[in-house]
Structures are given as structure tokens and as C-alpha cells.
Amino acid sequence: MNIGIIGAGNIGATLATKLSAAGHNIKLANSRGPETIADVARQAGATAVTQEEVVRNVDVIILSIPFTAHETLAELLSILPSTVPVIDTSNYYPFRDNSIADVENGEPESVWASNKAGRPLIKAWNAVLAATLANKGLPSGTSGRIAIPVAGDDEQAKNTTMKLVSETGFDAVDAGPLDHSWRQQPGTPAYCTELSASDLKVALMAADKERAPVNRDALMKEFMSASKPLSHEHTVARNRAGTA
């Protein structure tokens, strides 16, 4: 497939690398211009392009952008055919994104992002640490494969996304419609806890909408106040303990 990725940070660049290796044609763009990501794109096996070019003649678009940037892309995304899935990998953290009243009052992050972007979104690859995505993928059918939740309202777009998730090395779990995507937001048992498919399904059902932001903020306070960088293993363990 022809896949356009907007955002060349840790998640966007890693997805470009993995999906290129899986045989897809990848175009990579950011907000600052292709010359600023030329090296990243080359290393990923992708082509650096402008945002205007990244949405042309594509089968899928992946957004790996700051949470508040969705509304800046509404006009750009409006030219896409309705059949092109738009996959969102972002998360809301109020300390970074400033407090957003609608989200603070209970609107699922992805519903807010979808409204701002003017497109139905599929939520995927948001509930995985960058190091997990880069280093812990396994071939399909391998024992111990980590699972990733996928939420959205368009079943065909969701199925396409789930196939791409598998190609990046992870089992895809259907997490329901977009308004259930709060179950995979920061502070929930499904978020960055490296679970199997069966355990992830249990974690999604165990999510508590009221507790999630409290858990999220407590964990971020702990991580940011640590006297030394936390290991990947410790981060995953704390996420599990802090959301159980």
C-alpha cells in the first residue's frame, strides 16, 4: 500500500521503518518541511515530502503528531477520499498540551481529535511505548507476542489498521468504537503495559474512566521526578502497578 505518515518523531519514524520493511511505499512529512527529515526518511526507507504531498495518492494516512495539532490538519485532510483510513497515534497529557475542557469533562481524547481533524479516526499504536514498538515486535503466531488495541467506527478502516499493526510485529485487539477509545488512554490498564491479546482484552474491560486521569497524572509525576532515567522494564512495571 501507499502510506503517508505525518510526524517523524519516535513513533512516526519507527512506523515508517517497520511498514517500509513490510513492503509498503512510505511517504513521511512533518510541519517543518522535508529537508528537516531527509535523514530520518532515508534511514526508514521512506520518502520525505511536504504535508501537501503526503496526502496525495495514498491508501492510508497515519497521524503521529502532537495532540493539539489535529485542528491544524483539518483542511489538509479534507481532500482525502472518505475511503482512506486516517489512523491516530496521539495521546493527551495536560501538562504538555495544556488543559482541554472538553477532554477534562469526559470526552474521549480520540473523539475530540476526530472532531478537530474533521475526519473519522482510527486509534492505534497510542498505547505502546516507543521502545516497545521499536524493539519488541515479533512475527505473527510467535509465542509471547505483545498486543495493541485498535478503536474506531469504520469496520473496514479498522480491519486495515489491524493488519498493519500485525505487520509491525504486534497482535491487534479490537477495542470497540471510537467513543470507547478512552479504555486505551493514558492511566488505563491497557496503556503501555505490554500485555498479550487475551490479557489486553481483560485490561480494556477493567478500565475505569474516572480513575484513568488520576492514574495518568500520578504516574507522570513519579516518572518526571525520578532521580535518574527509568529503565524500560521499570516503566512498564510501574504502568501495570499504577493502573491495576
- Could you state, in order of their start, the residue ranges of all structural domains in the chain? 65-243
**What CA–CA distance (Å, rounded) separates 226 from 219?**
11
Contact call for residues 126 and 184 (beta carbons, < 8 A): yes
Mean pLDDT for each consecutive 10-residue tract of the chain (244 residues)? 97 98 97 96 97 97 96 94 97 94 95 96 98 96 96 98 98 98 98 98 98 96 90 96 94
Is 154:122 a contact under the CB 8 Å cutoff?
A: yes
**By three-state DSSP, how is residue 217 classified?**
helix
Distance (Å, whole) CA 172 – CA 149: 6
d(CA 53, CA 32) in angstroms, rounded, equals: 13
Which grid coordinates are listed for 65?
Answer: 503528531
Instruction: Give the whole-angstrom CA distance, residue 49 versus residue 94.
Output: 31
What is the rounded CA–CA span in Å between residue 196 and residue 104?
A: 30
| Superfamily classification of domain 65-243 | NAD(P)-binding Rossmann-like Domain (3.40.50.720)
pLDDT of residue 184: 98
- pLDDT of res. 228: 87
Residue 229 is predicted with a pLDDT of 87
| Residue 153, pLDDT score | 98
Nearest alpha carbon to residue 63 among 17, 117, 108: 117
Question: What per-residue confidence (pLDDT) applies to 204?
Answer: 98
* Structural Rg of the chain based on CA atoms: 17
Q: Which helix (H) or strand (E) holds 80?
A: none
Nearest-angstrom CA–CA distance, 139 and 141? 6
Residue 134's CB is within 10 A of a number of other CB atoms, namely 18
pTM: 0.96
* Cβ within 8 Å of residue 147, ≥6 positions away: 170, 171, 172, 173, 195, 196, 197, 199, 200
For residue 168 the three cell numbers come to 509491525
Cα 225 versus chain centre, distance? 25
